[in-house]
Structure formats: C-alpha cells, structure tokens
Amino acid sequence: MRASAAAVVIGALALVTSVGAQRTSAQQAGAADLHVLPIRGNTYLIAGAGGNITVSVGRDGVLMVDSGLAQNADRVLAAIQRLQRDVDARLAAEDERTANRFGAETRSTVADRHVPQPPKPIRYIVNTHVHPDHIGGNERLRNAGRTFTGGNVAGNIADAGEGSAILAHENVLVRMTQPPAGQPSAASDALPTDTYYVDYYKLSHHFNGEGVQLTHVPKAHTDGDSIVHFRGNDVIAMGDLMSSETYPIVDVDRGGSINGLIDGLNRILDLAIPEFRLEGGTMMVPGHGRLVDAGDVAYYRDMLTIVRDRIQDSVKKGLTLEQVKAAKPTIDYDPEYDTKTGMASADKFIEAVYKSLGGGKTAAPAAPARRTR
C-alpha cells in the first residue's frame, strides 16, 4: 500500500511538472504570437512584430504602414495572408447576398463555374521613419508583394511588376543609403521606391475604397517622419510620434526635436474629429502600444509640453544636464511612462529634450571690441 501511495504521489508530481512545462511553453508561444486587431472598416492593427503595423486589406490588395523587425517578417506575412483569406471570404459572401437572382445567366451552369482567385497581393508599404523596428521587414515583405503599373510606363520599367512599392519621405531614403560610419547601407530591395519631399503625398487613386494621404512631420521623432491618414475609415497611423506605454524617443542625431514632436501631435489633433468632445471618432495607431483617440493624444501632447517647458526654463538658466536630471522634470509622469532602462527611459528622454533645446552648448565668444582712435 505504501508503494502504491508513493507511486500515486510520484505520478501526480510528474503530471503537475508536465502541465507546468506545457503551460510555460504555451505562454512563451503565446507571447511570440502577433496580435491582429480590427480598427475600422478594412483597416487592422498588427502588434508584436516590433513597431505597430497598420494594414488596409480589401479588393485592391494590401497597403501596409511599416513592416516591423526583420526577424518577424515571415510571421507578419503569415498574419497578412490570414487576413487576406478572411477578408476575401467576407467579400465573397457579400457579393453572394447582393447578386441579382434573375435572368438566364443565373439559371445556367456557367454562373457556378467561378474559379477561385488568389488573394490580392501586398501593393504598398509605407515607412513612417527609418528605425529598424519599423522598416526591418521591408525586403522580405516587398518581395512577397507586387506593384501594378501600365500605360506608357510599362515598357520603361523593367521591374514594374516585381515587388511592392515602398513609400516614404525622402529623408528616410537618405538615412538608409547614407548610414552612420561603421553601419552598412540597407539592401536595395529594402529601400523606398517612391519618395516625396513636400508637405504631403496623396495616393493617386482610392485604395480599398478610400483616399490615403502621407503627411511629413519635420524634425519630430526624426527628420523623416510621416503620418498616414486613411480618410474613409478615419484612421491615422502615427509612427513613433507617440507611444501609449513610454516616453517618446527624440532621435536628435537623426534630426528629431521635442518642439517638432509637439507640433506633430498638434497636427494630428487638427486632423482628428472626435465623436464626443475628445473621445472616440478618429482612431490613431501609435508606434507602440494600444489604439488611442484624440483625448489620449491631447494628454500625451500636454505631458510633452509641460516637460519641455520645465527643461527649457533650466536651459535658459544655464543649468547642466546633470542638474536638470537632478531636478526630475518628469517626476509626475515617471510611474506611467518611465521604462527605467533603454532609449525610452526618463533619463534618456530628459537628455534628448535638453539637447534638442540647445542645452549644454558653449556660448559663442564675444566679438573683440573695435579699436577707436
């Protein structure tokens, strides 16, 4: 009986250990999965691949905003293909419900001989800026897609049908082809194929039933930031102008500035139309974190403005960076946004804001006094 009891106990412990291992394995697998969230209409958020990815999926194909990290490109492609199949099935069901139910063609077997078409490909990838968690998947996802063209340009562009078009502000292309010393240039298939240098860029046609507009936000997160407005579904992809989880990264070395970041958020608030006061209505996809609305963006903008003003006052007084950090200008917001380590920590955020406001620069020497007779 004692041996039997011992065997039962050992078996139970083995079962618990096995279940625990399976649960841990399942949790790890779940953590590695991408999350696909419907936003509105045919726009979706793919989270977990690096930076947030916004996609439009419909009859015209797929338009992506950002492509995530390079190592996650295959998983992003698989998620998009699942979305394509689901959307195609829904559209086919809608066509079936709205089809005419009279006429000779509906009584013929010809009407039943529909050949299933493959999902429309990825046609456009928009890069909101140059950081690798937003452009890393460019090469893989571009080569999985296709660009359609025609007219008098078809014979002049040898690769017109090869790969998706990649759209970005021209500063993104410059940063990718002229990286800092010691860093390699991006692969040719990862580079933007179409760039713009003016205030905004509009797709030349409706895509999946709506207009799509890229707007340049100068000297914000970087010097090449674009926001993307899906005007029919009223969804704005913000890039890294905002993170709902952390302080923003102000990439001063790549032309970023705190004032440009605040201006960019104000630009987004100008575009947004809330459903009631600042709630609902236009939905925004930040570079990282959850979906937000105008109320969230306004709160984040106010936080940046308050911190900016505090640091600006310190800069005017000639305080050093160490003195500014000791004054803790972000203390009110650290519980919500401080990551403690990394580029989004309060320490790095204060340092970037201080530099972008001109802190720490040595004053120019006074001009020598003019000699007088």
Domain ranges of the chain: 33-96+116-302
- Structure-block tokens of residue 299: 């709160």
Question: For residue 310, which phi and psi values (nearest 5 degrees)?
Answer: -65, -45
Residue type, 113: R
Q: Among residues 70, 6, 77, 88, which one has the least CA distance to residue 36? A: 77
What pLDDT, on a 0 to 100 scale, did the predictor assign at position 83?
A: 93
What integer pLDDT is reported at residue 192 of this predicted model?
Answer: 97
Contact 280, 291 (CB under 8 A): no
- Span 106-139, pLDDT tens digits: 444 544 445 455 567 899 999 999 999 999 999 9
What is the pLDDT at residue 92?
79
> In terms of Cα–Cα distance, which of 275, 273, 292 is closest to 283?
292
Of all residues in the chain, the percent with pLDDT exceeding 70 is 78
Q: Which CATH number fits domain 33-96+116-302: 2.60.40.2550, 3.40.50.300, 1.10.3720.10, 3.60.15.10?
A: 3.60.15.10
| Six-digit token string for 236 | 């704005």
Q: What is d(CA 173, CA 193) in angstroms, rounded to the nearest whole number?
A: 9
Residue among 159, 158, 161 at smallest CA distance from 149 = 161
User: Three-class SS of residue 43?
Assistant: strand
Spans of the chain below 70 pLDDT: 1-32, 95-119, 148-161, 362-373
pTM above 0.85, yes or no: no
> What digits encode the pLDDT tens for the residues 55-77?
999 999 999 999 999 999 999 99
Q: How large is the angle between the packed helices 258-271 and 294-316, nearest 10 degrees?
A: 150
The pair of structure tokens assigned to 140 is 């893989």
The pLDDT assigned to 184 comes to 81
Residues whose CB is less than 8 angstroms from the CB of residue 327 and which lie 6 or more positions away in sequence, other chains included: 310, 314, 319
Q: What is the pLDDT of residue 32?
A: 53
